[in-house]
Amino acid sequence: MSDDTSEQLKKFTFSSKYTYQGQIQEETLEVIIPELLQASYSFYTWPSAPVLAWFLWEHRKELSGLKILEIGSGTALPGIVAAKCGAKVTLSDSATLPKSLAHTKRCCQLNNLNVNQDIRVIGFTWGLFLNNLALIGPLDLILGSDCFYEPSVFEDILATISYLFESNPAAKFLCTYQERSSDWSIEHLLSKWNLKCQLHNINNLGQSAGVNIHDLIGDHSIHLLEISR
């Protein structure tokens, strides 16, 4: 972990109301994320992560038993939510960042997920993935929040996703993307790597629980993409 010891715990609460036998029921999930605000990118929960986590929560009934890989996990909020909803989750971050991987493991432990039992954490570097594929195994879904943070990593990410799709042609890549410049685009890379992209509408995300999407994203422009073969 970082040498900075000023850890702050942030609580994320996901809820949903439904009617059962004429009675209104509420289902909730709380996730605790430790953050080190003065450390590197991977020790902080960026605005894209809660958006993806809420999308997973609202589709939680579809997650049970799915084999999921989260890339660039960092504090791993989406992956932890998926694991809590019954998915078989592998979290990953760059193999060159052992402190980030240690922090990801701490995030799991704070949420009562035993590493290597309830959830896995592995080193997995975009673009340098050939030796790690056996560690990942079959996949139904790949997750990523704010992985497209600068153009220099765009192709490494999509090349990695394309390679994973070779062994898992029915898998999908769900990712949230914070728009930082209107000049940045992955469209030409999607074509190069023979990938398709669908944009999900997130305007009503969390609405059934009384959550306003603008409270999640603030003044950021965030998109939810579904990339497939």
Compare 222 and 21 and report the one with higher pLDDT: 222
Grade residue 136 by pLDDT with cuts at 50, 70 and 90.
Answer: confident
State the pLDDT at residue 188: 96
**Cβ atoms 195, 229 nearer than 8 A:** yes
Determine, yes or no, domain membership for 90.
Answer: yes
- Structural domain boundaries enclosing 186: 7-228
CATH code (residue 88):
3.40.50.150
Torsion of CA 64, 119, 5, 35, to 10 degrees: -20
Q: Where are the beta strands (DSSP E) in 112-219?
A: 120-123, 141-145, 172-178, 196-200
Determine, yes or no, domain membership for 52.
Answer: yes
As a whole number of angstroms, the distance between CA 138 and CA 140 comes to 7
| The pair of three-digit structure tokens given for residue 15, joined into one six-digit string | 């809820």
Grade residue 213 by pLDDT with cuts at 50, 70 and 90.
Answer: confident
Determine, yes or no, domain membership for 2.
Answer: no
Determine, yes or no, domain membership for 1.
Answer: no
**Count of structural domains, the chain:** 1
Q: List, for residues 144-198, the tens digit of each pLDDT value.
A: 999 999 999 999 999 999 999 999 999 999 999 999 888 899 999 999 999 999 9
Please tell me the pTM assigned to this model.
0.93
Q: Where are the beta strands (DSSP E) in the chain?
A: 7-20, 23-36, 67-70, 88-93, 120-123, 141-145, 172-178, 196-200, 222-228
